[in-house]
Structure formats: structure tokens, C-alpha cells
Amino acid sequence: MRFALLLVAVVIGEGCRPHAAAPRSGTLPRIGLAVSDSAREWCAEFVADSGAPALEPGRRATIVFAGPGPVTALAVRVGTRREGECPAAFPQPRWIDYVAYRVALLDSVLSATDLPPVALIVAGDAAWTRGADGAPRADLDGDGALEAVRRCTADEGEHLTLWSMGRDGVWTRRWHEYYDWGGLTDPTCRPGEDGRDASESSFTKEGDSHGSSR
């Protein structure tokens, strides 16, 4: 009897541990902005009132680097909430409605590896690979189609966006984050990538970044 009760307790305990649950088809996991400081310590900002599942300490997540570089994604574990905002060189007005979390790397990275200090962070452990156009891709909503992460510069900072391709072959923006660098940047954003224009992208198929837009 005692053995049976112990076995039940172990099973329940395993089920209660934070893990990367498979998303329901059509729904996205929690998405936010990850930033690192001069000591290469990472911190994440997530929208406070997001309708997605709550972030529990110990939840696995992935930092996704949209720009060119040696690393596409890093596995991390979300820690406890921080008091105040993540460290930033300039004020980030968007973060007024965000919550900051400590982040611990699960992947080892050589100290000499050049990593962008700003990236998207996505809850879960989806497998990320770069497409023919260089954009990281993974199926985040469980529908069998890959989402893509893109980065561009405009205004005084950089924009990070997440896109899904519809059955008509047109990409639709589903998430947008912005990081303010405090100085004018060379505009590289295509329509929709700065979060302000129509969310239909100017490319329509794998590897074609100059396709027609509707």
C-alpha cells in the first residue's frame, strides 16, 4: 500500500514540473524580448497581460537570433521575476506593461562567440533551423507550418517580428517587438516589419524575399 501511494506521488510530482507543453493548433506560446548585459547575462521581458499560459520558474524557452551569425537559437530556462526592468543602455518605453524574468542558459557558448545582445525569446523547446533566406524557422503553433523570425532596423532601434505563412502563400505578422538603441538607424524594414504597416509581408514563398505583396 505504501509503495502504491509513493508511486502515485512520484507520478504526480513529475507531472507538476514545468515543461514545454505542445501548443494547441493555431495558438502561439509566450513570446518576449531577451537582452544581455556586458557580462553576457540574459534577461527577458514578457508582456504582463498576455493571454498565453503563465510563465513558471523553470520553464524552458529559446532565445532566437534573427540576424546573421554563428548561432540560430539558445536553449534557456526561465527563472524568477526581477524587480524592475531588464538592463538596457537606453529607456525602453514599451516595457511599462512588461514583466522581467531572469534567464539561465542551458546551451554552452564559447566566450569568443559573437552574439547579438537583443533577440526574441519564445517559451518552449521547438527546434529552430534557418530557412533558405536565413530566417530562423520553427512550428510554434502546432499546425505543421513553420513560423519565421525576422529582424530589421528603423527609427532609433531594431524591430523583431514573427511571421506565419497562410495557405495562400502570404506571410502574416503575428508578433512584434522593438528595442530602442537611442540613435537613428539605417532603415531596412520592409512593409509590416516595423509593426506599423499592413502585416502582409513583401515575400511570398520559401527563399523568395522579394515576392509580390497584396
**114 pLDDT band (50/70/90 cuts)?**
confident
Helix (H, G, I), strand (E, B) or coil at 107: coil
Is there a domain that residue 203 lies in? no
Is 92 domain-assigned?
Answer: yes
Name the region of 50 (left: φ>0; alpha: ψ -120 to 50; beta: rest).
Answer: beta
Answer yes or no: is 115 within a domain: yes
**Does residue 202 sit within a domain?**
no
Is the pLDDT reported for residue 90 higher than 80?
yes
pLDDT (0 to 100) of residue 200: 52
Tell me the CB-side half-sphere exposure of residue 148, using CA atoms within 13 A.
25
84 occurs within a structural domain: yes
Per the structure, how many domains does the chain have? Answer: 1
Which residue's entry shows cell 532609433? 156
pTM recorded for the entire structure:
0.80
Within a domain: 209? no
Residue range(s) defining the domain that contains residue 170: 27-180
Write the CB contacts of 58 (distance below 8 Å, at least 6 apart in sequence). 17, 18, 77, 78, 79
In tens, the pLDDT along 155-204 reads 999 999 999 988 888 999 999 999 999 998 999 999 999 998 765 555 44
In a domain, 136, yes or no: yes
Looking at the DSSP assignment, which residues form a beta bridge with residue 76?
61, 105
Q: What's the pLDDT score for residue 112?
A: 74
Domain presence at residue 68? yes
What pLDDT digit, counting tens, does each position of 136-160 carry?
A: 999 999 999 999 999 999 999 999 9
Residues 6+ apart with CB under 8 A from 197: 191
